[in-house]
Amino acid sequence: NAGVTQTPKFHILKIGQSMTLQCTQDMNHNYMYWYRQDPGMGLKLIYYSVGAGITDKGEVPNGYNVSRSTTEDFPLRLELAAPSQTSVYFCASITPGQGGDTQYFGPGTRLTVL
Amino acid sequence: AQSVTQPDIHITVSEGASLELRCNYSYGATPYLFWYVQSPGQGLQLLLKYFSGDTLVQGIKGFEAEFKRSQSSFNLRKPSVHWSDAAEYFCAVGYGGATNKLIFGTGTLLAVQP
């Protein structure tokens, strides 16, 4: 298994442009998550999904959109990019039990908005 | 609201010395608690987790953590640090029941001196 994969690894975006960060997992996990990590800060949850067709907002959803058409893929869409969206983005997934289950993280996408 | 505090931003220890990284949490119910490690340019890897039972939890790479409900703490320890332990360490609390969402602390950056 490749686990959780993210593309691209690095990207520079101009202010006002849009792009999609890709996340794919091959572990047949139901739940998937998007986090952002700013320098000197912990990860903050942007959006999450509990299954295909079901998504919900996390702590910091503004400026982002997600979709979940398949179990494997959970893309994150940035519309009208702003410098405040410069960050490292991590995708994670789990197949949950009762709670307290381990999230498996991808390697991250480092995004710079100029 | 739930929160996680890691009071030490940066810690330097000598190789072979013992290590304790502090974590305090705020959560109304029984917490699910996690320690993750992040090496430079990498995603997060789970070291250990607690959600019930024995309050002393053993993890990978020789790490352990002790849950103390009375102090709202979940400190990470290792008796003898290796140079390869240099990384950033994040404490997290799980919330939202089966949705398994995580709130992260701001992290502690560990440097290891030869």
**Does pLDDT of A12 surpass 90?**
yes
Dist CA B19 CA A74 (whole Å): 38
Tell me, yes or no, if B1 comes closer than 8 A to chain A by beta carbon.
Answer: no
- In chain A, positions 22-81, which contact chain B (CB-CB < 8 Å)? 31, 33, 40-45, 48, 50, 56, 58
Model confidence pLDDT, tens digit, residues B41-89: 888 999 999 988 889 999 999 999 999 999 999 999 999 999 999 999 9
Look at A96 and B51 and tell me if their CB atoms are within 8 Å.
Answer: no
Looking at residue B42, what is its pLDDT? 83
Looking at residue A97, what is its pLDDT? 64
Percent of chain A residues past pLDDT 70, beyond the cut: 96
Q: SS3 sequence, chain B? A: CCEEECCCCEEEEECCCCEEECCEEECCCCCEEEEEEECCCCCEEEEEEECCCCCEEECHHHCEEEEEHHHCEEEEEECCCCHHHCEEEEEEEEECHHHCEEEECCCEEEEEEC
Q: Which residues in chain B touch residue A100, judged by CB atoms under 8 angstroms apart?
A: 32, 49, 51-52, 94, 100
Tell me, yes or no, if B29 comes closer than 8 A to chain A by beta carbon.
Answer: no
